[in-house]
Every structure is written in structure tokens, then in C-alpha cells.
């Protein structure tokens, strides 16, 4: 179709492509508004200028991002169609600055699709991250036992759902014993500013691995739609850090600012006790050490286009997993 | 304690009382800010006046409500502690203009408490309200079979959860096959304007009965905290209606405005076809008839204080339902 | 340009056209996302269906609007470029569910453009609407005197601004004595749901006439972008009304619901005192009479395309009104 | 009055005290909900625990702040009554996560009170901060000339306003030539999380000095209401900084993490060109140097209680500045 709107060529390439996530889920970019250039245009209205040299767009976007001048990035919108297990949906929906239309289990029959973790992902509770997994998978035998139990639960759940809806019991009640691993789906619309915040939290290693998987695919989409914003987000948010008054104090005792650069102060050192005297708690010391440890490689959320499939492929899989023909929507 | 803040006497009476909802859930008002008088005070700033005769508060609040001048009612806040099944929580959280802190199944062990519908509530799918129940309970035998299946699912679910957390598997995965009927809990803070909107939708007969149960208790709390706002909400929102251009057109053909009142126009009538010509669709006719049918009695959400219990009573029940002792929180 | 996004043909026609409002202001639709069909698509995800017959789109959109199922309409976005006097901007910005980038008087030089009311608009204070104008213009002599005073103020203001910025005084202070009639401009982005709410309030006769002028042009744009949503908004919002419990009570005493239509009850009447007994206050009687009075003609916010001009025309006028060349924006 | 709500002793001390800001403005804390302990309680619900040793509250609040776990701090509310010049109000209102009721110039007569900058504040445009003032006051003669012009403008403005309202012209129009320096007032309610964000931006040296003055008084109020949150905000936000991927890279080349502390790497240095190769732009170099320069003393926003006055004192001053007796508000 023809349009007179600003177009993001990278967005057009992936529009409507359905990217699989986890065993039955997906994310697709189904609509968008704006591009990197539109952020610049919105920022420039404050400066009272119309257009500028394109070569300066990158510098301006990085400046805005660095200094948290975020309102211009609210001018770009993304609309996604996504399917995810309900325990993931419950984390996702905590981000309030988005618009959502979710599949209704009161109105429609739920597809009997459940998320099953891979063997590598069924890990023990982390001792460090109090809410996450440790990186250590459980034994193969334990995984087999988990699989057996998941199957048993899902069998009874599906069977009960099938029976109850077959008996014409209210769907809003038939579904109450479906497990949290059941897939749901929604349209989800958000502006770039809020998307960057969401993705920062969701590609983070402290997020549950399953939602990270969604975050990574969506970050790949972001990279296509607004490549300069993506790059700035990687440099200032994902791979940047916040440092405290006490940490800046510590660093300024170790590093001298010269007229033309930075220099390690000869002989300067701060042991744990000296750092503690600056006001840093034990836990903050570990956090500071981590910030200064040699950097991991910069993450690259490049999409693998070869994995993309069509909406029809998913629609068919989902329709096939519904107990029986859904009833028609209201007039 | 002493305070110099505005106090709502009705709120003080119920503060910290835990009201049971459904079989294991509860709602408690744990903090509040403001009262009916504070809404008036905020409204008066627009009028450039300080105080006024108290007797006029009611008239002003009703005027504001009737004309949707809602910003003054944003000045009053409610903080609730609530526990509800997850399928209820998922409907509740769709209201984005609130602050939430929820119990974390990634961090903490979940109590094995599940919602079981009463026999009277397990009904067939409604033919009228496409997403609700019909009012017709299923047969006693069907209810028994449903109970048997719920028990079976919850048995396997609890047993798997117990086993997985006992094996020290990550809690964020151990929980994924808990059913949607599992209870969770949260603190939920919202201003009066948004609470009225939430409650309007949630005490409505189209909402799922289980969340209506929460709505009714919270409406009872509202009645205590801000009685004038509650009364206006009943009169203009809960028992009021929206009428369309076409409906007003129809009504003005049937009712004459006189110098001192209203009069039915002699002989005036509009059959379905005449109403259709005014632009009303079939479905709208039924809606219009319902609006004009003789009013049901005005609902009264008066709290039954004798049902209230203590936070400790619930804390004990919940702690007793957790697989084993929870681990301590982080420093 | 080519796009694979949903396109609204009516939106494409007016995209980038600058419509004059008041003496120096404008509104332009500069970007959009979605269309009436996208609202239907978002709503259908709840029903578990993909596509449907186009002929049913209108019925569904009207159903959603009538029953305040507003989330699907959040899926459509509008981005406007607007210029308005600051007293209008101050009313406009009270709508918080929008994204804004405004011209900065701290950074940039303000154009010396001020709003001058027409003779017809300079009216006396209304006795009915406590915050508006009466409909009665002041005398020609009074208007001339007002003009003289406005000119005097604007002369001193402009001259002071010119002098202070010429002396290189901080712009953030040089501007503090510009009058509220000075024009500012911004990009403003909002979703359809919130736009309908904004426009409902701003095309209303209780809004200040000057912001109504903006509302009417934007309503005309809405009519082009999403004609079915516009029509439903006219029928259910702009020309509809809210009726209270007491009003429904009164109406049901005057109108009988028959098996096939409505009939005025013979001899039924309610004088002011009877209406008062139903709980209606004096002021509410007047409001009820107004709702039932014969309808004014349905407003039509059709745009006059012949009035549209180009961004360049306005850019030139604004640049010409700036004291002297603006300094370049930051790197 | 007696209350069973959580009480903040520091808040009670200052409740209802009116603190002057600028020449005619004020800020007063008029209501609040919650305290530092309430934030902990909300956070603990996630951890499935009731109460904990008080000594750990500080550590938990600092942990939450450091890691941007901000939802528990949404549980605390502040309600302020404030008066400020309109150009300040226009900056303030840009923060959308607050509730506002403003004095209405359509309904009420405006007090003829205008902000006049001190001689020290009338400075030249900054060359560094593109939107601010330089720190260099203008000459005494220039200040006198500015004063003369301000007086002239305000004289004509007041006189026109007086005349127009005296002629019973609509107030919504009579006010359009009041200068942006005219004082307005509002009730403003916000939760702690959003207040910290607002104050961070508004006590910052890049904010206009006049709004900084408001920020500093409100920060002093925050210190009283929630002292632990205030301290964490100073350490992690106000005196902390964000560092980029490139900056962390640079720092890790200069500072070694040892088993028990940090050590400056002997001989390590990075000149501007080496820093540039790491990806830091010219402007970012200056920003990095500033972060590492020896810290300014930690700001202390302690309130000066001796400056506080009463609401009546301000009410009298404002009433005295209104052209003539305001008309009564509507029923």
C-alpha cells in the first residue's frame, strides 16, 4: 500500500513475520508508527528548528538517551501480537504503560497448549539471585520425573476442561484449573520510551529466563525499527550502570582527571574497609566490583529471519488445540 | 496515634479489619488518605474559596460526580491488602491506574490454597451474556464430578510443587503447573476516582461472579470511608445509565417538557419499527427496554462487620498451607 | 512510500495538511497508526477469531463504544502538530494520557504572535455557566478599548522581550512577562480512546470557545481517519447523555415498555414537586428538561479542505515573528 | 485527632505549615499517607513475610532504591498546596503522574501578584547549558531597566484586567493578557516514587532556578516524611550518576578489582584520543570528567521551620490582590 507517513524500512521488512518463542509461543510486530528520525523531529520542536543534517541524528538521539530526555521517544509506537504462558503474561502485564487486548477464556475456548521447560532450563534455585535459577540443571532423572508429573497434571487439566466445556459449563469456571503454563495471547501496544524500559528489565539476567526469551526477540525487532535508538539503549542502558555517590567518591580517589584525559593515581588503593568507610555496604562492594570487572561482550539481539513463520501457521496450531469448535462472536 | 491529618471516622472503624471473600480470600483496608470533605476542598481551590458551609458538601459532590468532574476525587486514596485466586487477579490487574505489590512465587513458596466454587455457582454457559454463566447450576452429579476432578488436579499439582521445591528446583519453575485457582495476594493502592471506575465494572452483573464478590466488599468499605461519594456513585453510576442520541430522540417523542415538570404525550408510541427508523439496532432496543423497566431495588453494599477477622488469622492459615518453611528474605 | 501497515485512506488524504485555527494557530495530523478495522481486529483477539465479514465492523465498533469497551480503541494512534495560545495550551495539557513535545522558551526565541479575540467573541461573563461567556458581545466601544489595551500590553511585552534577548539576558527570564495570549506549539500524540475523551470535553459548549475551535478541527480529522468510530462517538457520546437512577425512575413512570415498543403512559405526569420526591435536586430538574428537549441538529465536524495550507507557510510566518535569528541547536 | 493509620512523626510536625517560595509563592504539605516503614511492608509482601527487625528497614530501602525496585515506594502519598508563577506551573505540569486541582481563571478573579526576579537572578544566557542562565548577573543599570519594563507591563496588564472584569467581560478572556509571571495555585498529589523522580529533575542545576526553589523546599519536606527514602535518594539519585558501556570500559582499564578492594592500575592512563577510540564523543568526555571530579559537598535540603507561616497569612495576601470581591461559587 501507498502511504505518506514516515516509513522505517527495517520495520517494513519484519512486519507481520511471526517469530517462535519457547515451545508454542510467538512474537510478531503487526504495526508501528515512526522511526529514529521522528524522535529527532519531536526533539527539534523544542529547539525551534525544522530539519537538520541527517548525519547529526545519531548524536542527538544518543544525547537524549544519555540524559534521559525521554519524551521525544514516546512519539514512536509498536504494536505486537504475542503468545506466552500465563506465568509469563502475569509478569509482562505489570508494565502498565501499554495497551492490551487479551484472548478471553470467559468467552472463548482455550487451546490446550502448555509450556514445557527444556532439560537445560530446569535448574535448582539460585543462592545468589533470590528469585531465580542457579544455572545448574537438575539431574536427568529428576527432569524425567518432572516431565512425568507435568504430563499428569496437564492430562487431568485438559481432560477436565474438555469435559466441563463439553457439558456446557461456564467457560469462566471450566478454565480455573488450567495450569499457569497454559498459553494465552494478546495484542500489546507500547511507545518506544516505555518499550526500552520494559526490554531493559526483561533482557536482564534477573528476569525469569522465559520472559527473557521474549525480550530478546523484541529487542531484535527494535534493532530493525529504530537502529539508532537501539544502539544508544545498548550503550547507555543495557551495558551501562548506575553509580552511587559513594562509588563516585571511591572512583575519584583512584582516577585523576587531567587536562587531556584520565590517569590512574599512582599507588592509590581502597581496601574493603576503606570502601566501607566511604559508606558502601558489603553488598554494594560486590556490586561495584561487578561493574568494574572486564566487560562481557556487548549483546547483539539480531533477529534470525530464517526462524520466522506466518500467522496462519500459528493460527492453525492453536485452532487444532482447542477442545472443539469455538462459538461465533457476538453481533 | 495522634494525627493532624483529615480523618474519616468511618474509615477508622474498619481499618485493619480483614473481611473474608470466597473460600480463602480476603480484603482489608490498611491505609487511606482523605475523605468526602477533602474532595470538596480540592474542588473549591478552582473556585478560589477556602471553606464553605458543610451542608453544601453533599450537593457539590453530587454535582461533580454527575458532570464527571473527577479530578477532585483523585485526591482521596485507598490502600487494600487482598488475597484472591489468580484468575481473579488476572482480571483485577487490567486496571492500570493503581499501585501493586504482589506476593512473588519466584521468591517465596506458594500456599497450597485453591478456590472451589460452591454448588450454586457452577452453572452453565450463559446464552445471553456471551462470557458469563447462565444462572442455572449444573446437576448435583455433574458438580460432584467437577469436585472430583478439581481435587485430582490440585492433588497432583500440590504434590508436584511439594516435590519440586523439596528437590530445591527453582521456585519460578516449580509453580508453573499450579492451577489458576491458586490464591495469591497483594497490596493495592488506588485513588477514589479510579476505585469508583473499578468498582462500577466489578460489581456489575457482567463481571465474573467471583470478582463481584470482592467488588461488593470493597464497595462496602467505600461506603464507610466516603459515604457521600458512595451515595453519588450509586445514584449516578451504578444505578444510572448512558443513553444515546437515538434513545434521547425516542424519549423526547414520548415525553413532553412542561413549564413545571414532565408529561407523557397523549397517545404517543413507538413500535420496534419506528424505533429502528430512529437508528436503534435490534440489540439496542433490548438495551433501551431494560433501562426503562421498573427499577430493581437500589443495591446496598453495607459491610457485615461481624464477618471481619484479623490479619493474624489469615497469616496463620496461609503459613500453614506452605509446603515448608519459607527462606528468609535478602538483606 | 510503500508500506505493509494497515492504511486509513481518509487519513492519507489529510496527512500533513495544516489547518488554520484562530488567528495564528494551526492543527495538522502528521502521523497515525491503525484504523477502524484495527479496533475490530484487537477486539476479536478476545473472541479468539481472526477475520470477519467487513459489514459487521460497524456493528461491533458501535457495540464496543456503547458499552465502554474502550481498550481496543487504544490500538489506534494520532500524532498532531499544533500551535495555540498559552492559555489554551494550559487547558489542553491537563489531559495526561498523551505524549507532548513543546517548543521551549528557555532554549528558543518566542515568535511575537498573540491571539486577538474577534469582536463577536468578546462577551460578558455568563450567568448560567459560571466559567464561560454569555453569548452577548460587549459594546463596539468596549471592544475598541479592549483592542487598544491589548495592543499596548503586547507592545510593551514584545519590546521588553526584544530588548532583554538583545541584551543576551537568559531567555527563560526574558519570556516571563509575555502574555498568556502568546502562541506556543507542540507535537501531541494520543490514542483514539483518549482522543475521543479529550474531544468530547473540548467540543462541548462548556469548554472555552477558543479550545473548542481546536476540538472541532480535530474532530473533523477523526472523521476522516476512523469514520465508524467517529459516527459512534457522535451517537453515543457527543449527542448522548448520562441519566441517573432518579431520572430513570421518572422516565419509567412516564413511558411503558410494551412487547413491541414504547408507549407514553396515558395521563402520566410528574410536576417539579413529584420529581423532587424522586430525589432530583432543582438543578437536576433543569438538566433533565434539557436532555429531553427536542434535539439540536447533529453536529458535523466535516473538515473544509480548502482552508488547509502547508507547514512551510506557517514556518515562515513564525520565523518572521521571532525577534532575531535563533541560535543553532546543540550538537 | 486519633487515627489507627501508620503515622510519620516527621510529617506531622510540618503538616499544614506554609513555606514561602520566591516573592509570593508557597508550598505546604497538607496531607500524606504512609512512611518509610510502609514501603518496607509493601516490599515484604513479595517475600511472603510479615514483619522484620526495624534495624533492617534502612538496608532494604537502600537496596530497593539502588536497584530501581520502585513499586513499593508508590505506596506512599503526598498532597501539597502550592502557589507559583505560571511559567513555573507550566514546567511542573509536564509531570503527568500526579493529580492536580488548579485555581480557575475562568471562574475566579486572579490575584494581581507577579513574580519579580532578584537582581542576582537576572543573568545572561548560559553558553554551556543551552537553556539556562550563566551565573553572571546583568549590570545594575540593566536590572533597573528590566524592573522598569516589568512594572510597566504589569501595570497595563493589571489595569486592563481590572477594567475588563469591572465591565463584566468574560473572565476567561479578561485574563489572556496577564503575563506568565502571574501567580496561580493548586493542590498537587503524587506518590513517593513519582515525587522522587520529579524532585531529582527539579533540584537539578539544569532546571530553571525558580522551580529549583520549589524543589528544594519539597525535598526538605520529603526528608521529614520519609527520612530513609530521602537519604537513599540523595546517595543513589541526586549525587549518583549513570555511566555508559564506554565509560565502564574506560574505568576498568584504570582500576583493578582485587580480592579485597580496588587498586589504581600502575601507569594506566587514557588520553582524549584513547577515550575517543572507546567510543566516547567529545561531549561525553566532558561529562565523564565532571562525574569523576572531586565531589561537591552533599546537598542538605533541611527545612528552615522558622520561615513557615500559616495558610491564613497567604489567603489574606491573595484575597487582597484580587481586583474586587470574588463572586460566590455555584451551588
Over residues D95-114, the pLDDT tens digits come to 999 999 999 999 999 999 99
Other Cβ atoms less than 10 A from the Cβ of B311: the count is: 15
* Interface contacts (A, C; CB < 8 Å): 166
**Average of per-residue pLDDT across B33-57:** 78
CA D252 from chain centre, in angstroms, equals 35
Which helix (H) or strand (E) segment holds residue D164: the answer is: helix D140-166
Query: How confident is the prediction along chain A (331 residues), in pLDDT tens digits per residue?
Result: 899 999 999 999 999 999 999 999 999 999 999 999 999 999 988 665 444 555 689 999 999 999 999 999 999 999 999 999 999 999 999 999 999 999 999 999 999 999 999 999 999 999 887 789 999 999 999 999 999 999 999 999 999 999 999 999 999 999 999 999 999 999 999 999 999 999 999 999 999 999 999 999 999 999 999 999 999 999 999 999 999 999 999 999 999 999 999 999 999 999 999 999 999 999 999 999 999 996 668 999 999 999 999 999 999 999 999 997 444 433 3
D95 to A281, C240, D74, D190, D319: CA distances (angstroms): 33, 33, 15, 10, 29
Q: Say which of A202, A245, A253, A317 is annotated catalytic.
A: A202
Tell me what percent of chain D is helix, strand and coil, each rounded to the nearest 5: 50, 20, 35
Question: Which of D231, D255, D285 is the best substitution to test chain A (most A C-beta atoms within 10 A)?
Answer: D255
CA distance A210 to A188: 18
Beta bridge partner(s), residue B125: B133
Q: What spatial distance separates the first Cα and last Cα of chain D, rounded to whole Å?
A: 30
State the sign of the Cα–Cα–Cα–Cα dihedral D41, D46, D50, D54. Answer: negative
Name the residue among C107, C212, A159 with its Cα closest to residue B149.
A159
- Alpha carbon of A132: minimum distance to chain B alpha carbons (Å): 7
Taking a contact as any Cβ pair under 8 Å apart, which residues of chain C between 100 and 119 contact chain A? 100-104, 107-109
| Residue B236 near residue B65, CB atoms below 8 Å | yes
Give Dmax (Cα) for chain A: 81
pLDDT score recorded for residue A326: 45
Does the structure show a pLDDT above 90 at B49? no
Name the residues of C annotated as catalytic: 202
pLDDT score recorded for residue B135: 94
For chain A, say whether D93 makes contact (Cβ under 8 Å): no
pLDDT score recorded for residue D307: 97
pLDDT tens per residue, range D224-238: 999 999 999 999 999
D51 pLDDT band (50/70/90 cuts)? Answer: very low
Does the structure show a pLDDT above 50 at B328? no
D313 pLDDT band (50/70/90 cuts)? Answer: very high
Query: How confident is the prediction along chain C (331 residues), in pLDDT tens digits per residue?
Result: 899 999 999 999 999 999 999 999 999 999 999 999 999 999 988 665 444 555 689 999 999 999 999 999 999 999 999 999 999 999 999 999 999 999 999 999 999 999 999 999 999 999 887 789 999 999 999 999 999 999 999 999 999 999 999 999 999 999 999 999 999 999 999 999 999 999 999 999 999 999 999 999 999 999 999 999 999 999 999 999 999 999 999 999 999 999 999 999 999 999 999 999 999 999 999 999 999 996 668 999 999 999 999 999 999 999 999 997 444 433 3
DSSP assignment, residue A329?
P
pLDDT tens per residue, range B66-112: 999 999 999 999 999 999 999 999 999 999 999 999 999 999 999 99
CA A258 from chain centre, in angstroms, equals 40
Based on the residue annotation, tell me whether D154 is a catalytic residue of this protein.
no
Determine how β-strand A77-85 pairs with β-strand A25-33. Answer: antiparallel
pLDDT tens per residue, range B226-263: 999 999 999 999 999 999 999 999 999 999 999 999 99
| Residue C43 near residue C64, CB atoms below 8 Å | yes
Other Cβ atoms less than 10 A from the Cβ of C70: the count is: 17
Strand order of the β-sheet with A183-191 is: A18-21, A25-33, A77-85, A183-191, A99-102
Average pLDDT, chain D: 93
Question: Which of A3, A56, A98 is the best substitution to test chain C (most C C-beta atoms within 10 A)?
Answer: A3
Q: Which residue carries 469514520 as its cell?
A: C227
Name every residue whose Cβ is closer than 8 Å to that of residue D306 and which is 6 or more positions away in sequence: none
For chain C, say whether B207 makes contact (Cβ under 8 Å): no
For chain A, say whether C43 makes contact (Cβ under 8 Å): yes
pLDDT tens per residue, range B152-202: 999 999 999 999 999 999 999 999 999 999 999 999 999 999 999 999 999
| Residue C160 near residue D115, CB atoms below 8 Å | no
Cβ-in-10-Å burial (0-12, 13-18, 19+) of A19 comes to buried
At C189, phi and psi to the nearest 5? -120, 135
| Residue A85 near residue A209, CB atoms below 8 Å | no
Print burial letters for B252-291: b (CB count within 10 Å at least 16), e (below 16): bbbbbbeeebbbbeeebbbebeebbebebbeebbebbbeb
Nearest to C99 among A99, A101, A191 (CB): A191
pLDDT tens per residue, range B298-313: 999 999 999 999 999 9
Lowest mean pLDDT among A128-132, A163-167, B317-321, D322-326: D322-326
What pTM did the predictor assign?
A: 0.96
Cβ-in-10-Å burial (0-12, 13-18, 19+) of A267 comes to exposed
Say if the Cβ atoms of D45 and B186 lie within 8 Å. yes
| Residue B63 near residue D330, CB atoms below 8 Å | yes
Please give the grid coordinates belonging to residue B117.
466454587
Q: Which residue carries 492459615 as its cell?
A: B317
Chain D residues within an 8 Å CB radius of B187:
41-42, 45, 75
Nearest to A244 among D236, D254, D260 (CB): D236
Name the residue among D197, D199, D205 with its Cα closest to residue D128.
D205
CA distance A48 to B66: 43
pLDDT tens per residue, range D135-194: 999 999 999 999 999 999 999 999 999 999 999 999 999 999 999 999 999 999 999 999
Print burial letters for A23-58: b (CB count within 10 Å at least 16), e (below 16): ebbbbbbbbbbbbbbbbbbbbbbbbbbeeeeeeebb
Other Cβ atoms less than 10 A from the Cβ of C294: the count is: 9
Name the residue among C19, C33, C172 with its Cα closest to residue C108.
C172
For chain A, say whether D291 makes contact (Cβ under 8 Å): yes
Write down which chains contact chain C via at least 3 CB pairs under 8 A: A, B, D
| Residue D192 near residue D77, CB atoms below 8 Å | yes
| Residue B43 near residue B52, CB atoms below 8 Å | no
Does the structure show a pLDDT above 80 at D325? no
pLDDT score recorded for residue C51: 44
pLDDT score recorded for residue D294: 66
Say if the Cβ atoms of A287 and D258 lie within 8 Å. no
Amino acid at each position: 500500500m501507498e502511504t505518506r507517513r514516515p516509513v522505517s524500512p527495517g520495520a517494513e521488512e519484519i512486519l507481520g513475520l511471526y517469530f517462535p518463542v519457547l515451545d508454542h509461543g510467538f512474537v510478531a510486530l503487526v504495526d508501528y508508527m515512526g522511526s529514529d528520525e521522528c524522535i529527532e523531529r519531536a526533539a527539534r520542536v523544542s529547539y525551534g528548528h525544522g530539519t537538520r543534517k541527517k548525519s547529526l541524528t545519531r548524536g542527538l538521539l544518543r544525547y537524549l538517551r544519555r540524559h534521559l530526555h525521554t519524551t521525544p521517544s514516546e512519539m514512536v509506537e509498536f504494536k505486537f501480537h504475542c503468545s506466552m504462558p500465563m506465568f509469563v503474561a502475569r509478569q509482562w502485564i505489570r508494565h502498565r504503560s501499554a495497551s492490551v487486548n487479551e484472548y478471553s477464556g470467559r468467552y472463548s475456548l482455550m487451546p490446550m497448549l502448555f509450556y514445557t521447560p527444556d532439560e537445560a532450563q530446569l535448574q535448582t534455585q539460585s543462592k545468589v539471585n533470590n528469585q531465580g535459577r542457579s544455572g545448574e540443571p537438575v539431574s536427568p532423572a529428576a527432569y524425567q520425573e518432572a516431565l512425568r508429573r507435568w504430563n499428569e497434571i496437564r492430562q487431568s487439566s485438559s481432560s477436565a476442561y474438555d469435559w466441563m466445556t463439553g457439558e456446557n459449563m461456564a467457560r469462566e469456571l471450566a478454565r480455573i484449573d488450567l495450569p499457569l503454563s497454559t498459553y494465552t495471547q494478546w495484542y500489546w501496544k507500547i511507545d518506544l520510551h516505555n518499550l526500552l524500559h520494559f526490554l531493559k528489565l526483561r533482557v536482564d539476567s534477573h528476569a525469569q529466563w522465559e520472559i527473557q526469551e521474549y525480550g530478546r526477540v523484541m529487542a531484535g525487532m527494535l534493532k530493525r525499527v529504530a537502529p539508532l535508538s537501539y544502539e544508544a539503549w545498548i550503550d547507555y542502558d543495557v551495558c551501562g550502570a548506575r553509580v552511587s555517590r559513594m562509588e563516585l567518591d571511591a572512583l575519584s580517589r583512584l582516577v585523576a582527571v587531567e587536562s587531556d584525559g584520565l590517569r590512574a593515581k599512582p599507588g592509590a588503593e581502597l581496601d574493603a574497609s576503606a570502601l566501607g568507610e566511604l559508606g558502601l555496604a558489603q553488598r554494594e562492594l560486590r556490586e561495584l566490583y561487578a561493574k568494574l570487572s572486564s566487560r562481557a561482550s556487548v549483546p547483539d539481539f539480531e533477529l534470525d529471519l530464517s526462524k520466522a513463520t506466518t500467522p496462519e501457521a500459528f493460527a492453525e496450531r492453536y485452532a487444532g488445540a482447542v477442545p472443539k469448535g469455538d462459538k461465533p462472536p457476538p453481533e
